[in-house]
Amino acid sequence: MENNLTEKIIRGDVRAAAKLMRGIEDNLPEATDELQKLYPYTGKAFIIGITGSPGVGKSTLVDALITSFRQRQMTVGVVAIDPSSPFTGGALLGDRVRMGKHNTDAGVFIRSLASRGWAGGLARAAISVMYVMDAMGKDVIIVEAVGSGQGEVDIRRLADTTIVVLAPGMGDEIQMMKAGILEAADVYVINKADKDGAGILKTQLEIMLGTKTDYQNEWKPLIVPAQALHGKGIDELTAALLQHKDYLYAGAEIMRRRRERAKLELAAAVEHSLRNHVKMILESEELNTLADNLAQRKTNPYLAAEQAVHKAMGKFREC
């Protein structure tokens, strides 16, 4: 792709980082080579996942959190995953407008991902972009994703600390509870606390969490009321996040979570590798011969597929 791309990225070069991210997006084999070189420089960032239904105020909160972390002299990377919007669509524009004030801050790197355009799958894309930001030396990486529980990237497995955002009047608590999302947070934000119903929502959440277990030795989820739009509750939220980070690092929990993430990383890499094999087979010269044999009923699709896979794997081991 370019000489010394990895070295540039670990020195924090934004242009080099953006270039690799485009390479990942285009599924260039060289991008995977670069990621291999980068990997030893990752694993240092504190990764925060933020999820909740569309419109609860996640992006507004992320914007406020960036400011808050920057005030603490911490650098920030943001990965915004929005499965509903195309790559250059409205949500991205919205993110840009909202996060525009961080554009000139070298301590902040923001990247939006939509589900389309990522040949290797969204999870791999998100993980790879996180690697790049991590290697750049970002202290905190915030991953924003919609959490309706319908097959999108499972943010809880990606993050060290997970925030679930709720807001009054959304009426989706039952839905989220069914999807198991409501129980999974380390920190809850009741956003739009300026609106009616925020108090009731908080009480409902407390009751739900109260019936769960006694949290002996375990982390008891924190509930933080906030008004992201007005910058209220943000310092409390940042403090809660750092408190959870301390809890993770005080015991074995950080390793347990990172092991979970490692499984996800491995699954994404395996999936990517297999996809490339399928592509290799379907684009190979031999496909025509195989198709001829099949059309003449000299073989069957199952046997032909197995032979093709075998061959592709053999080629793979050579390289």
Interface residues toward Mg ion, by CB under 5 A = 58-59
Q: Give the three-class secondary structure for 183.
A: coil
Q: Which of residues 15-54 bind ligand GDP (CB under 6 A)?
A: 52, 54
Residue 102 in contact with ligand GDP, rule: CB under 6 A = no
> In the complex with ligand GDP, which residue's Cβ is closer, 23 or 57?
57
Stretch that binds ligand GDP, among 66-74, 106-114, 192-200, 247-255 (CB under 6 A): 192-200
Applying CB under 6 A, does 7 fall inside the site for ligand GDP?
no
Residue 27 or 191 with smaller CB distance to ligand GDP: 191
Binding piece for ligand GDP, criterion CB under 6 A, among 30-38, 66-74, 105-113, 189-197: 189-197
User: What are the two backbone dihedrals, phi and then psi, of residue 272, each rounded to the nearest 5 degrees?
Assistant: -65, -45
Element (H, E) at 272: helix 253-282
Closest approach, Cβ 58 to ligand GDP, in A, equals: 3
The helix/strand/coil state of 311 is helix
Instruction: Determine which residue in the list 58, 244, 261, 272 makes contact with ligand GDP, applying CB under 6 A.
Output: 58
Rounded to whole angstroms, how far apart are CA atoms 81 and 12?
A: 23
CB of 240 to ligand GDP, least distance (A): 17
Rounded CA-CA distance 183/80 in Å is 22
**Which region, judged by CB under 6 A, interacts with ligand GDP, from 55-63, 121-129, 180-188, 276-284?**
55-63
Total residues interacting with ligand GDP, rule: CB under 6 A: 15
Q: Letter for the amino acid at 93?
A: L
- Of these partners, Mg ion, ligand GDP, none, which one is at the site of residue 83 (CB under 5 to 8 Å by kind)? none
Angle in degrees, CA 209, 212, 215, rounded to 5: 90
From the list Mg ion, ligand GDP, none, pick the one residue 220 interacts with, judged by a Cβ distance below 5 to 8 Å according to partner type.
none
Rounded to whole angstroms, the Cα distance separating 179 from 198 reads 22
Q: Which is nearer to ligand GDP, 54 or 137 (CB)?
A: 54
Residue 149's Cβ-count burial label (10 Å; 0-12, 13-18, 19+) is: middle
- 112 in contact with ligand GDP (CB under 6 A): no
Residue 192 interacts with ligand GDP (CB under 6 A): yes or no: yes
With CA atoms as reference, report the closest residue to 190 among 148, 240, 151, 263.
240
Neighbours of 262 (CB within 10 A): 11
CA distance 121 to 207: 38
